[in-house]
Every structure is written in C-alpha cells, then in structure tokens.
Copies of this chain bind each other. A is one copy, B any other.
C-alpha cells in the first residue's frame, strides 16, 4: 500500500456547546484538530494509509491528541513527544448573521519550537507516495518554517508528490512574512490549494473582477488567479475552493481545478451548516484521495467538493465520511433521505 504523510500541528479545540457564546459557557466540548491533521483523519476515513507527523507535549493532554488520531486509524508512530504545550483554540459557533469566533492560544506549542533534524524524514517517507502540508505550519515560527522546508525538500528528493494548502492566517503572520516564506516553499509543491483570499494575501495574486465582499464569485476571476499561481511557481495543478457565505448557517460551496490546460468547475452545493471548520481541509483530502486513486481531474474535483460538502454536516474539525458516502453524493443522491 502507498502512504500519505501529513505534517503540521494538532491542537485541542474547545467549543461551548450549541450556540452559546464564550461568556455564557461553563463546559467546553473538546476535539483535537488542525489543518493537516484533519487531512490525515479524512484520508484514513477514506481507507487510505495516512501518517501524521508533529510534535506533542509529553503529558496526558498530548496523549489525548494522539489517541484521537489513532481512533480514526491515523498512523502516529513517528510523532515526537516533548516541548512545552499543545496549542489550543477556542471556537464559538456562529449562527445567522453572527459569525463564528476563533480565539487562538497556540503560541509556544511543541511543534512551533521543533528543531531541524528532530524528525527522521528518511524513515518517515519510507513507502510514501504523497506529502501534504499547509501554510499554517511555517507561520507558527521560524523553527517550524525551517522544518517544513526540510520536509518538503526531503519529499521532493524522494520523488514524492507534494501538496500545499496556502491557508493564510492573519493572526499568525503578515502578508509580507507569508510571501517571503511561502515563496521559498512553493518550488517543492506539485499541487497548490487555495482560496481567492489566500492567493492575494500570500502572493499578491488577485482576482481582478472578484468582489468577495459582495459574496459573488466570478469564474473568470478564479481562472486568472489559478493561472497566475501556476505560472509563477510551475505547479502541476492548482485547486481553489469557492465559498459563498449567505450567513453563518448557509453557504454555497464549490471548487475549481486547473491542470495547466483546462479549468474544471465543480457543481455547487447549497449547504446548511453543522460545523464549517475544516471545510477546506476536507477538500484537500478529497483531492488527494482522487489523485491517489487515479481518478480524472474532473472526478477528483467533484469528489473533493462532495467530500467537503459533507464535512459541513459533521461535528468537529475532521471529515468523518467514507469514500462510498462521498461517491453517493457525487452520484446525485443529495436528498438526505433516511438510509435504513
């Protein structure tokens, strides 16, 4: 079998139950997640062999994060133990016109203080066909950026396909900082995943006609962004997620994939949201699955969009759906009828 390696952080996510605001809460629901960990869990749920690489503190909270990964079948053997703390993020779920709020408390996490040479990339990549990382990890710290580079280079050298989700986070760094670091990493990337905001914030690449503030998305604009991205960094493929936010409850969701020749646009889904965190991660996992399974680009894209459509109906960060469930939705069964 062929393995996918994901590298990044895993955090403790603490969310008040239901629609409570932080100031009303006296319990928090706890799950463990993070951009790349969500991809790994999703891939394991699809039945692929996914291995997660990170550093986690040597305490019971860290152990709980590992247990959550193991529970869903992710290989955790190469995770390092040590450092100061597990990153935390607090999530307050929005509704209607009230947006979800995220409070980060992720500084000084073990992975952000990792050092070059701590991971044995040779052993980690043994048997691997794919390596995935995101723009969040290099944003954590200089150290994390260095180790990301170390990993990307090692993967490239071994002929492993590399994907990166740009995932710009304004709380972690400025566009300038992001641009500098990410530009260094891009030469090692085959598949670049982004949303229109990411491309602009990180590389100043802009969808001329798109006005996101109006929530209207122009196909033409996305083609431009994808093409500019590809041309600049010689990616093999560029994928973009297209989210139209009508409210915190209702989104329209689709995606596009540019293979250097054709621009594929997926169908659109009207989504009633249960939990939208990790939507982009589940899209990335869907794309990787499709490509690992040798689907056509169009099929991979539709699989990715259907998978991430379903993610919005799932509690927590990660996408707990099977490949069969995704294919059923791709096949048109969106009626939500009871399966018995």
Interface residues on A, range: 35 or more
Give A contacts to B, CB under 8 Å.
14, 17-31, 59-61, 63-64, 67-68, 70-73, 84-86, 88-90, 92, 94-105, 107-108, 169, 171, 213, 215, 245-250, 269-277, 309-310, 312-316, 320-321, 325, 329, 332-340
Contact A340 B61 (CB under 8 A): no
Contact B272 A60 (CB under 8 A): no
Q: Which residues of B contact A67 (CB under 8 A)?
A: 23, 71-73
User: Given A71-B68, A315-B18, A320-B21, A96 and B336 touching (CB < 8 A)?
Assistant: yes
Report Cα–Cα, A14/B63, bound state, in Å: 16
Report Cα–Cα, A27/B171, bound state, in Å: 27
Rounded to whole Å, the gap between the CB of A271 and the closest CB of chain B is 5
Rounded to whole Å, the gap between the CB of A205 and the closest CB of chain B is 21
Q: Which residues of B contact A310 (CB under 8 A)?
A: 96-98
Other-chain contact of A90, B61, B103, B334 (Cβ < 8 Å): B61
Rounded to whole Å, the gap between the CB of A339 and the closest CB of chain B is 5
Q: Which residues of B contact A271 (CB under 8 A)?
A: 96-97
9 cross-chain CB contacts under 8 A: A24-B316, A27-B28, A60-B90, A68-B71, A95-B336, A98-B321, A108-B108, A249-B272, A276-B338
Q: Which residues of B contact A275 (CB under 8 A)?
A: 19
User: Given A19-B313, A315-B20, A103 and B61 touching (CB < 8 A)?
Assistant: yes
Contact A64 B25 (CB under 8 A): yes
Q: Which residues of B contact A22 (CB under 8 A)?
A: 60-61, 63-64
Q: Which residues of B contact A102 (CB under 8 A)?
A: 338-340
13 further A-B pairs in the complex, CB-CB below 8 A; given A60-B92, A96-B312? A17-B27, A19-B275, A19-B314, A21-B60, A24-B320, A61-B90, A68-B71, A84-B107, A89-B340, A94-B313, A97-B309, A98-B313, A98-B336
Rounded to whole Å, the gap between the CB of A201 and the closest CB of chain B is 13
Other-chain contact of A30, B25, B84, B107 (Cβ < 8 Å): B25
Q: Which residues of B contact A105 (CB under 8 A)?
A: 61, 85-86, 88
